[in-house]
């Protein structure tokens, strides 16, 4: 049985997740896939319940699951907690302990939503960029780190940007392998002009490409991170796959998300190393956050979480048909003119979270 751990989290997380639960029931009802689903707490709600943003029990369940689906974490209620207790720590612990080193963030512009982008339609129509972000290393986790008080009473904050060959190689490999199934172009992003860790990044990516992927027709280019940010908003369609480190990936993926004009539409996957059975630990989550301002109002967009679930079906459960079915249902619903508030456009019909779930299910019934 496919073991799934569901962590709805904070804010709009539980609302969007309940729409996914309906699709899971639909798949089972139609005999298309069975999942044993466990639910747990992560983020602020976990802190409120157990005094920590992720309990050891939930961590153990995540390790035992075939895949984890997460909603969102955080909210103003927990903003002033110390670092170790912040909701985000729950997410970072999952990433680190599950060794989810490869974060896949596709930025795809749906035809029906071309007008939602702040860029001109011709720049983004048909856009399909995949950002592969290193997720368990770099300055997010590097040591030494901390804030210290110096003898003269001034304070000093330290973080360390650090990468090793294996860390660079394994994430680059994921990017190259994914590019093989796409347009075969990888752009590696670093700051090799100012950082040694960036220089090593560039050298290792170049070496791996020459050794294993050049022959397979993969084209590799390099870009400095500042230029990549500029090129993303100047001419985004020049990119196919971008591979970069944890911090640059954090920034560039928000930028790429905005190109689509619809953060509420974007899924993501975080993958761990292959085990000897050829399986990977994996966590899937929408790119949008917990949106506390609209939480509990039944107005959030559940599509990013649904599309994250579709990515899970594809990458963790080899259920490409079910994944495509869900993606097609989402496309059709948008074509039909239905929109949640975040992607609302003139002349369209605004619907609630629940109604969006209803129409996706109706569309699935038609397609299946």
The catalytic position among 111, 226, 321, 365 is 226
Least separation, in Å, of the C-beta of 102 and ligand IPM? 13
Least separation, in Å, of the C-beta of 250 and Mg ion? 4
Decide: 338 and 347 in contact? Cβ < 8 Å: no
The entry of ligand IPM, Mg ion, none near residue 99 (CB within 5 to 8 angstroms by kind) is: none
Helix (H, G, I), strand (E, B) or coil at 290: coil
The entry of Mg ion, ligand IPM, none near residue 327 (CB within 5 to 8 angstroms by kind) is: none
Going by C-beta distance under 8 Å and a sequence separation of 6 or more, which residues neighbour residue 108? 127, 128, 129, 260, 265, 266
Q: With CA atoms as reference, report the closest residue to 181 among 209, 213, 203.
A: 213
Least separation, in Å, of the C-beta of 88 and ligand IPM? 4
Which positions from 233 to 272 touch Mg ion by CB under 5 A, shown as an x/- string? -----------------x----------------------
Please state, in angstroms and rounded to a whole number, the distance separating the CA atoms of residues 315 and 294: 31
Which residues here bind ligand IPM, judged by CB under 6 A? 88, 91-92, 250
The entry of ligand IPM, Mg ion, none near residue 342 (CB within 5 to 8 angstroms by kind) is: none
Which residue's CB is nearer to ligand IPM, number 27 or number 91?
91
Strand runs labelled E in 150-265: 155-158, 185-190, 219-224, 241-244
Least separation, in Å, of the C-beta of 251 and ligand IPM? 9
Least separation, in Å, of the C-beta of 366 and ligand IPM? 34
> Using the rule CB under 5 A, is 134 a contact of Mg ion?
no
For the record, the structure tokens of 25 come out as 């029931």
Helix (H, G, I), strand (E, B) or coil at 139: helix
191 is catalytic: yes
Please state, in angstroms and rounded to a whole number, the distance separating the CA atoms of residues 267 and 250: 14
Q: What is the dihedral of CA 65, 67, 69, 73, to 10 degrees?
A: 70
Which residue's CB is nearer to ligand IPM, number 46 or number 334?
46
Please state, in angstroms and rounded to a whole number, the distance separating the CA atoms of residues 299 and 262: 15
Which residue's CB is nearer to Mg ion, number 250 or number 342?
250
140 is catalytic: yes
Please state, in angstroms and rounded to a whole number, the distance separating the CA atoms of residues 85 and 34: 35
Which residue's CB is nearer to ligand IPM, number 92 or number 291?
92
The catalytic position among 47, 140, 163, 284 is 140
Residues that bind Mg ion (CB under 5 A): 250
Active site members: 140, 191, 226, 250, 254
């Amino acid at each position: 049985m496919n073991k799934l751990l569901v962590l709805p989290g904070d804010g709009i997380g539980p609302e969007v997740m309940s729409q996914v639960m309906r699709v899971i029931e639909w798949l089972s009802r139609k005999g298309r896939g069975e999942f044993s689903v466990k639910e747990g707490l992560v983020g602020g709600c976990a802190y409120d319940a157990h005094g920590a943003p992720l309990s050891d029990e939930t961590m153990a369940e995540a390790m035992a699951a075939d895949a984890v689906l997460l909603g969102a974490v955080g909210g103003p209620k927990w903003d002033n907690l110390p670092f170790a207790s912040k909701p985000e720590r729950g997410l970072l612990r999952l990433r680190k302990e599950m060794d989810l080193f490869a974060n896949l963030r596709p930025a795809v512009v749906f035809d029906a939503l071309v007008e939602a982008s702040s860029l001109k339609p011709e720049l983004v129509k048909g856009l399909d960029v995949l950002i592969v972000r290193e997720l368990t290393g770099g300055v997010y986790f590097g040591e030494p780190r901390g804030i210290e008080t110096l003898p003269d009473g001034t304070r000093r904050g330290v973080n360390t940007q650090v990468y090793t060959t294996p860390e660079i190689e394994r994430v680059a490999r994921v990017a190259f392998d994914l590019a093989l199934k796409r347009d075969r172009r990888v752009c590696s992003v670093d700051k090799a002009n100012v950082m040694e860790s960036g220089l090593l990044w560039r050298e290792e990516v170049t070496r791996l490409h020459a050794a294993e992927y050049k022959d397979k027709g993969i084209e590799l280019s390099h870009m400095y991170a500042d230029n990549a940010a500029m090129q993303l908003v100047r001419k985004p369609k020049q990119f196919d796959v971008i591979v970069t480190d944890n911090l640059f990936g954090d920034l560039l993926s928000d930028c790429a998300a905005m190109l689509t004009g619809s953060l509420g539409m974007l899924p993501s996957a975080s993958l761990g190393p292959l085990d000897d059975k050829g399986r990977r630990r994996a966590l899937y989550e929408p790119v949008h956050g917990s949106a506390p301002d609209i939480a509990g109002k039944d107005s959030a967009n559940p599509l990013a979480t649904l599309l994250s679930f579709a990515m899970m079906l594809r990458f963790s459960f080899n259920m490409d048909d079910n994944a495509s079915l869900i993606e097609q249902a989402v496309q059709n619903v948008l074509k039909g003119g239905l929109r949640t508030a975040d992607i609302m456009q003139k002349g369209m019909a605004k619907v609630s979270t629940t109604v969006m779930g209803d129409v996706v299910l109706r569309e699935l019934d038609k397609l299946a």
